Structure 1
Amino acid sequence: MSRLPDFEAWAVFAMVADSLSFARAAEELSLSKATVSKAVARLEARLGARLFHRTSRRLALTEAGRAAREDAAALLAAGEAAEARALDANGTPRGRVRLAAPMSFGIAHVAPVLPDFLAAHRQVSVDLHLSDAVVDLVGGGFDLGLRIAALPDSSLRVRRLCGVGRSLVATPAYLARHGRPQHPEDLKAHACLGYAYLPTPDRWLFSNAAGESVTLVPDGPLRANNADALAPALRAGLGLAVQPDFTIWEDLKSGRLERVMPDWQPPPIALNLVMPPGLPRPARVSALIAFLERAFSTAPWAQAETAPQAPLPSPAEAQALT
């Protein structure tokens, strides 16, 4: 019989490939750095290929490492799922949940509520991965993802948590200096601060209750790939920006920002929980789903229904927006 795969080495490689750090992987696995390094070396010897480029300052995947990363993540996820199913036999949530979320939303809203979840579920841990890029849940071995978008059809399972309003906003000082636009065409004469991770960052779409739509090319002094990076320029009065309510609701409440062109709205979006296909879900995942539903369906910025007056974006535009 052929010898079994070195599952431990594959799992260790998956952790190192995810963090690009032997030290962080060792800490996560409660192993010594030497043990982690030996496991990767053992796998490299078995495969006959180097998986990492190593320097004194940097660790990077080789071509062979990039090719093996997805398979390693899938093996690790399958092993964790099998163990979790066995542990779930007694009905107590336990084990690790891998959760992906957008950067700004994750820092401002997900991280602050997780302590309550972890206090209620002492045998569950959460691996929170923050990125404004759209994460491959299946390939990355994630149990859940939070996406703020109008999502197109896919093989993933989606549960809508709440609507998320988006508004064109500016400071009172900016509007006093430059005037208050009434129509999207007026924005051609204004400084527009842009978000680079939109599928169409060079075009803004607005619609009104009468069904009219206007697309324009925004122009301004700053575009960033993170919503929080726009906030200082926006609050300094350097321009207008389209922002989701969860980033600006306190500024609107205090009067630091004002909504502009309320009769014209960007396409509606929602906060969605996205899950890989397949059942059953481990108890630990179901527990986190229920917790996030409760936490975000009643958030002060949440909308019970996404605003109906604007049409949904096309599939090309329906990626995560923040």
Structure 2
Amino acid sequence: MGDAHRVGVVGLGVISRAYLDTLAGHPAVSITAVADLDASRSAAVAARLPGVRALSVAELLSSPDVDTVLNLTVPGAHAEIALGAVEAGKNVYGEKPLTAELPDARALLAAARQAGVGVGCAPDTVLGTGIQTARAAVAEGRIGRPLFASAVMVTPGHERWHPHPDFYYTVGGGPLYDMGPYYLASLVHLLGPVRAVTGAASRLRTERVIGSGPRTGERIPVEVDSHVTGVLEHAGGVLTTLTTSFDGTATTASPIEVHGETGTLSVPDPNHFEGEVRHFALGGDTWRALPPSAGYVGGTRGVGLLDFLAADAQRAPRASGELALHVLETMDALLRSAAEGRRVELTTSVEVPPPVPLTPAEGWRS
């Protein structure tokens, strides 16, 4: 990667800790500045990181010491910060979703192309050994021709553990926009882009109760659908049934299953980098675990940014803005389909990202 790439971090909430653990001290990255709406928070983070300045958001976006902005703000602020970075001539890599609203995402990528800068976006968990080993198994023909798949995410809601869960229940949140990107990005890696969707959704509770932290017992409004389900039509003809819910208690369903003519794959939770991939062959008698054969070993949040910075003319970034836009349009189409009671065709597509070869931790950490 050459000289250490200078990164400024905007948004220092819960997820920032995982990113900083990965990036601080990495030889390919120099964190030069941090910013947060809470100035005391940015000052505290800067004090722990040698050579890092605590700036205002505007100062960081205009700083000549920042090449790429790592955007870890809440979804409602993703577009404003990302566009600000692009307008300042900087690359931007952000947390999912790319933006809270689809038109903003289209505008962001158009502005980035005009400015000649790059856009990347989480999730990068799909680059770990879990999803990448499953992808390799599909590519190797272990299940024959894929026919259909299922993806299931069920929780009782993040207000049970997050001390400030409000944004999970506003535009850009909900189970689909919060957790859906993990599943949809994985499905694109496994089965290719989506060409059309049919969705249904519900919102049976108008408020939630915070279960931890200083606001325990406080009620917050629910402004988005809390249960979204639908069918995805992949470009190659595979059908995936998707369920994302903040209304359930638990499930025994595999996070993702891919069914083919000669077998089935049980794919681990795409919210994690690792996990056991299991294979059941047609005519077999049991599930068999597949050893890790692809992906960033020991991956942690931020490996997608490292992958983004390492991309060049020979290899596109795997956690790209184009993939994030396609995922966002898929989610938007599911909600439109649910609201309008009709099948919705997508206007975007995306090249399936390059697979990740099995890369030991020392290979990407150094």
TM-score by length of 2: 0.28
Q: Which protein is richer in helix relative to its size?
A: 1
**Larger RCO: Structure 1 or Structure 2 (Cα < 8 Å, ≥ 6 residues apart)?**
1
- Normalising by structure 1, we get a TM-score of 0.31
Larger radius of gyration: 1
